[in-house]
Chains A and B, each alone.
Chain A
Amino acid sequence: DGGITQSPKYLFRKEGQNVTLSCEQNLNHDAMYWYRQDPGQGLRLIYYSQIVNDFQKGDIAEGYSVSREKKESFPLTVTSAQKNPTAFYLCASSPIPGETQYFGPGTRLLVL
């Protein structure tokens, strides 16, 4: 059963702490993306990766970091430099860059 999985579903961060959100896909897609969603707003792009070992900043990359060491995996780290991390984070993938993006179930990050 192909798809995109994100874990955990809920994540709590303490002040000054880095946390990592997991995103895995078994769709054999080349491109992967991370979006942030705030209440009442659309999605904003944090980072994207078109191919393994390559990634590019999106519109709101400050305070975030990513890696793409494997085709299937695109973890997002929310660093302590991100001063307002409370949001819903969605990971997506597409067969190749530019094609329709398919989304995972999301991770809700809350600050303690």
Chain B
Amino acid sequence: AQKITQTQPGMFVQEKEAVTLDCTYDTSDQSYGLFWYKQPSSGEMIFLIYQGSYDEQNATEGRYSLNFQKARKSANLVISASQLGDSAIYFCAMRVPTLNSGGYQKVTFGTGTKLQVIP
């Protein structure tokens, strides 16, 4: 069974500092994908970044980077130069193939890390 673990229920970071949010995963599949989503207080889930299991380089999107360590099964999110608007809950998620002929891939979400940026 697939599992995503986020061990930090809450974190604080000073504005303009970098912060790392931890995510470990467990799957026996060789082909999988890892995501990070941001959920501000409004509730909407905002897609941030994606890493495929066969991607050799770590994914980056602006101030977000994904520190992918395949052997350790970790996919940590690094946010550089934190801003007040980064305060939100961050979810790590993983998708793996299923036997469904339509191409559906099951997505499993972690329980989230609440990040608060301090001025």
A residues with a Cβ closer than 8 A to B are 31, 40-45, 48, 50-51, 54, 56, 88, 90, 92, 96-98, 100-106, 108
**Hey, which chain A residues are within 8 Å of B37, CB to CB?**
103
Interface residues on B, range: 20 to 34
A102 and B100 form a contact (CB under 8 A): no
Closest to B104 in A: A97
Q: Chain A interface mostly helix, strand, loop or mixed?
A: strand
A97 and B105 form a contact (CB under 8 A): yes
B residues with a Cβ closer than 8 A to A are 4, 9, 35, 37, 42-47, 50, 91, 93, 95, 97, 100, 102-112
Max count, chain B CB within 10 A of own CB: residue among A92, A103, A108: A103
Nearest chain B CB to A40's CB is how many angstroms away? 7
A102 and B47 form a contact (CB under 8 A): yes
Closest to A106 in B: B43
Closest to A108 in B: B43
